[in-house]
Amino acid sequence: MRYTSYSEKATKLFSLLPLFICLIHLSLLAPLTWNYATVLNENGRLASGLLYLHTGNYSAFQVNPPFSSVVAALPYWTCKKYSMTLDDLGTPELGRLEGKAGEFWTQKNPDHFYWLTMGRLCHTILVVVCTAVIYFIAKEYYGLAAGVLASILWIFCPYILGHGALITSDVLSALGGLLAVYCFRQWLQVSDFRYSFISGISLGLAELTKFTLLIFYPLFLLICLIDLFFKKNVCNANVSKQIFVSLLTLLFFSILVINMGYLFEDTGKPLGKFRFQTTLFTGCENLKDIPSGGGNRFRNTLLAYVPVPFPASFVQGIDMQRLDFERGLQSYLRGEWSKHGWLSYYLYALLIKTPLGTLALFVLAIACSFSRRFNASWRDEMVILLPGLTLLAFVSSQTGFSVHSRYVIPVLPFFFIWMSKVGKCFTLRKRFLSIIVSVLLVWSIASSLWIYPYSISYFNELAAVLPTPLESRAPQELAGTSKIVSLFNAGARNGGRHLLQSNIDWGQDVLYLERWCQRHSEITEICTALSGSYPLEQTRIPRKAMPSSLDGLLPGWYAMSVDYLYSKDDVYRQFLDIQPTARIGYSIYIYHITAEEVERFKKKSK
C-alpha cells in the first residue's frame, strides 16, 4: 500500500480549492434568484431572447447584444413551445420594444416568474465561472494566496451579489471582457495562428455581451503597439509580418463570431441603407432635426456603397445605445436631480458602494506596487490594469445620463486581480502586512454580508457621513433598533441620499414585502408606491392606490419605495419626517400614518 505524504494530501486539498470557492459563491447567489422580484425590463430581456431564438429577429432589444438575453431564455425555449412574434407587439420598426415584449410574455405565462428564475440561474452559473477564471488568473499572476484573495473580493462584492442573480448584461460582460483580455495576453506572448483563433473567438464573444467592450478594439491595438515597441526583434521584417497577419486573423475571427451570434443578419448591408437616430450618425445638429424615419449622414457619399461587415442589428444597436446618451435621462446624484450625467458619477459610486475594506486593499496594492517583489512583469501588469482603467474612463465619459452605477461591473475583475498582489505578503512571510490584509479582507466580507440578501442596496459607512449639497435626509431608524445595528446599517439606510434606481431600489424587494404582509394579516389595505416591473396584481399584497398628492392622503398603511421618497417632484418627501413602522430590505419603508400626521402633512404642503 502506497503511503500518501502530507505534501501530497495538501496538494490534493489545494486542487479542490477553486471548487470550494465556486460552491460558496453559488450558495450565496442561488437563493437570490427566487427571492428577488422582477426588476425593471428583466422580463423584457428574457422575452427578447425568446424572440431571437424563435424568429432569428434581433430588433426587439437592439440596445444590448443578444448573449445575455439568449442565455436567460434557454430554459423556457427548450421546455415550452413559444410562438410570439414581433407582429404581436404592434410596434414600429425603430425604437425599443423590450418593454412591450416583456408585458406580452408575462400576460401569456402565469408561471413567468418560475421561468425567470430558471433564466437567472443560467446567468448565475456563468457568474460562478467568472469566479473560477478570476482565481486562476490571479494565481498565475501573483500566486495561490492572490488567487484566493481575488476570488473572495469578487464573491463578496455587493455589486456581484446584487446583480449577479439578475438577468442583466453587466456581470456577463465582466466574464467576457476578462476572458478576452486573458486570451489576448496569451496571444501577445506567442502571436501564432492558434492563439489568434482563440483570442479572436473570445473577443467576439465579449462583444456579444455589451457594446461597452467595443473599446477593446482600439485598446488591444494600443497594447500591441506598446508591446512591439519594447520587443527586441521588432525590426525583423519576418517577425513584424507574422504579427501583422496574426493580428488580422484575430480581428477576422472576432468579427466572424459577432456575425454568428446574430446569424449573419443582413451582414454586408451597404452603409447608406441604414436608418440612424442619433446626431453622430445622421449629421444633424440636434435630435429635433432628425426625420421621424431616421437619417444617414453617409447616404450621399461614396461610403454609402461600402458593405458593413457587421450584422444590421449590431450596428443599429450601437446607434440606439448612443441615442440614450444624446437624448439624456433624468439623473440623480447626492440629492440633486439633473437632465444630464456627471463625469465623477461612477468614481463616486465606487467610493460609497464598495466595502471600505476593499478600498483600503486597493490603496495598499498601490503602495505594494513600489516593491518589485509584489509585482508581476510590467507587460502582465499593463495587460490586466489598462483594460480596467480604460473601461472606467470610457463609461465615465458618457455623461448624457448617470443612472446605473452597475455599468462599472466589467471593470471590477481587472482591479480585483491587480489588487490581489497584496496576497503575496503571506508567501513572502510579511507578518505585519499579512495581519493588515487579513483584517481588511474580513472587514470587507463582514460589511457585505451584514446587508445580504439586500446587496443591491449596499452602501458603505461613508454614505452615512458624507454630506450632500442639497437637503437630503435619510429615513429614520426603526423603533427599538440597537445602536450597534444602526451603526452597521447606516450606510444602506442613507443610500437614497446619494444614489437611486438600480443602485438601491429596482423593485427587487417586492416579494419580501408580500411575505411581510402575510405575516401581518391585520393589515387589510396598504397604499403602495413601488418600483420595478413585477406584476403586483399577482401578489398577495392587499394594495390600494396611492394618492397622487398629499391632499388625498388618508390615515392608514403605506409602503414607499426609496425612489418615491426621493422623487424629483418631492411629493412624498415628508414621509422622511416620521419614523417607519417596518423596513423591507433597504428599498421599501412601511409607514402607519395617523390622522394627526395627515393634517401636519397637508399644512406643510400648502
The cell numbers describing 516, all together, are 411581510
Q: What is the pLDDT of residue 573?
A: 85
The cell numbers describing 382, all together, are 499593463
Among left, alpha and beta (phi > 0; psi -120 to 50; other), residue 221 is: alpha
**Helix ranges, 354-428 (H):** 356-368, 378-397, 412-419, 424-427
Question: What is the rounded CA–CA span in Å between residue 415 and residue 311?
Answer: 33
Of 134, 128, 148, nearest in space to 26 by CA: 128
Q: What is the pLDDT of residue 123?
A: 96
Count of other CB atoms within 10 angstroms of residue 521: 8
Q: Model's pTM, two decimal places?
A: 0.93
Residues 6+ apart with CB under 8 A from 454: 492, 509, 585, 586, 587
Distance of CA 42 to the CA centre of its chain: 13
Could you state, in chain order, the average pLDDT of each consecutive group of 10 residues for the chain (606 residues)? 50 75 95 94 91 85 91 90 73 70 88 94 96 96 94 97 94 96 92 89 96 95 87 62 86 96 93 92 88 88 92 92 88 91 95 96 95 89 95 94 94 97 91 94 96 96 86 78 80 93 94 94 91 88 84 87 89 86 94 86 71
User: At 591, phi and psi to the nearest 5?
Assistant: -125, 140
CB 146 within 8 A of CB 421: yes
Q: What is the pLDDT of residue 477?
A: 83
Count of other CB atoms within 10 angstroms of residue 429: 8
Of 205, 214, 218, 306, nearest in space to 262 by CA: 205
Question: What is the rounded CA–CA span in Å between residue 318 and residue 323?
Answer: 9
DSSP state of 406: G
* Tally of residues, the chain: 606
The cell numbers describing 94, all together, are 425603430
Label residues 593-606 b or e (16+ Cβ within 10 Å = b): beeebeeebeeeee
Count of other CB atoms within 10 angstroms of residue 524: 10
CB 151 within 8 A of CB 138: yes
Question: What is the rounded CA–CA span in Å between residue 325 and residue 317?
Answer: 13
CB 75 within 8 A of CB 50: no
